[in-house]
Chains A and B, each alone.
Chain A
Amino acid sequence: MWFLKMWFLITPFLLLSYYSVYFSSMGFFWGLCCSFIFFILLIKSSVVCFFFYVPNSWVLMDDLSFLMEVLVFLVFVLSVACSVKDLSFPLKETSKGLDSGLAFISLPCIMFFCAGGWMPFYFFFEFSLIPTLWMILKWGYQPERLQAGMFLLMYTAGASLPLLMCLLFISTVVGSDSFILMALTDMSHWFSRWLLVPVLLAFFVKLPIYGFHVWLPKAHVEAPLAGSMVLAGVLLKLGGFGLIRVFSLFKMTLSEEALLMCSMIIWGGLLSSLVSATQHDIKSIIAYSSVSHMSLVAVSFLSCYPLTKLAGVCMMFAHGVCSPCMFALAASSYDWSQSRSISMNKSVLRLFPWFSFYWFSFIVANMSCPPSLNFFSEVVMFSSIKSIGFVFILPLGLLCEFTCVYCIFLYGFLNHGGVSSFLKSYPGISDRYLMSFLLSFLILFFGFLGLDFFLV
């Protein structure tokens, strides 16, 4: 297994450096950062037997962090490859800054996932918002002025202020902000368990959970492709990762508040999948599907059981690979027909079968069809969640069913239907672009071979 882990470590860095050198000076700087991190990790020969790496009190790397770092690199590489049209080699004046904007989003995410203490954790959690907002505003498609950006900023910043208060309080109690010391401290007689709720709120908004999810469809519809991909692939996982950290360090147990939150979250996921089936904007459908998948992730972490944790992490990774690809395909459809409406993009199967194949594979992965990673995560998740409360089977089953409904709805409308007389001709999709999906396809459909990799 160590060999696989080593390979997983090296490949994203190499890919990233390769792409970065081609695209911009900022990308080169970015490639340099990654190589630097890689180098630091290599120095400590624990890269070979990799379990828990703490070079100093502010950086911490364990299996979960590592997995998330791999995901960030993967999504970054994918988004750079898919927004080649926007970057347009050699760089045009108008695309100036998109690549550095991308780098600026990914950098805090990288640092967030290897944060070893609450300070860098919170700082990079919040800092990732600013380049996202900038990207949405500058290259976005918003019809009105600041709406999507305001929603994004206000929701996330507003919900994380209680988090800051709690973290500061905890830091004073423990005496340091290091995760390790926090895990070793017994905090139960300093404050009640209910302090956890405001702490979790920030992550629920980030995930997002139904009820705090309103910013996500707006942000996705209005963001440019690269922004959408990074948003769906990485930024949502900040919330999930934060949830895991909080649970493990607070030594959470399955209690009343956890069960209450579980039931609300599952119900929200079900509602979100229903809403997704009624949308007419392709990006909106995928955005609401993100909400319902992330609600499953949140429930799996709340259930405090190792197998569900595996399922949740696996779902996070699989969703983080599948969703950006679906957004990239949606952006391709938009490039073709200049419209994001599901009624204006039709008959892809008849006109571009290869494109249709990728739509099929990612939609099928999204609705958790075997042998995709989503399938394994969902099956494990469902069988473990029933152990915390048998009544959850009903909403979970319905959620699964409605996920299928909107996935098939999306596939049917896009791929079938009459050939629009006014949408016949297409400029052509480049091979390089399609090949970037091949990598994700392989990861999603052959990733089950390394399922124990997600047992973090």
Chain B
Amino acid sequence: MQFMASKQPENSLLGPESDSQRTLYPYVTGTSVVALKYKDGILMAADMGGSYGSTLRYKSVERMKPIGKHSLLGASGEISDFQEILHYLDELILYDNMWDDGNSLGPKEVHNYLTRVMYNRRNKFNPLWNSLVLGGVKNGQKYLGTVSMIGVNFEDNHVATGFGNHLARPILRQEWHENLSFEDGVRLLEKCMRVLLYRDRSAINKLQIAKITEEGSTISQPYSLKTYWEFSAFANPAQGAVGS
């Protein structure tokens, strides 16, 4: 005789236990992405870390990729979901190219597409666990936007994800201005990344800076920032602490 365990309806909002296909929490994650508009286009920075919880599992993860001719995508959050997004975008760009009509998707269009994808996944209670930064230039128009895992999106002169919102945005609000030179833009991004390196425990000292202009995009080779740990105030951090 067969005993049937009580079965929950397949289409209930919350889903039965057997619905193990939905994202519950992220596994391998990337931390902040920071980006800003400068004179010739967009500059974006992200480190190369892929954390597995509190373990620094992967140290060469490229979290920024060029999309089509005019855009650059940076992602924080679940790395596997980022890879899936790149797969969707590959298809999008392919179909765009196959029209062969001289037109190509600009950053604004790609950002809109990504927003719709993220929002629709959120509607199905199966989000892509990422915060995305989409920057680019088309026909002289610079564009920089962001979209979160639940579909909240906007564009601005500078954006950041995760800890970058807390640590980098205030610096950018203070020091960003129109028509930054390339050197100034990089210096400003490095300032932000250095603060993140000091204060975000999931940040690593191996980063890339990506640039996109009307001419195209480049992603730098990985490099590290100079840090200073000899501030006297931190020399003997436990001095005077209770129980030390």
Answer yes or no: are A and B bound together in one complex: no
- Chain A residues proximal to chain B, CB less than 8 Å: none
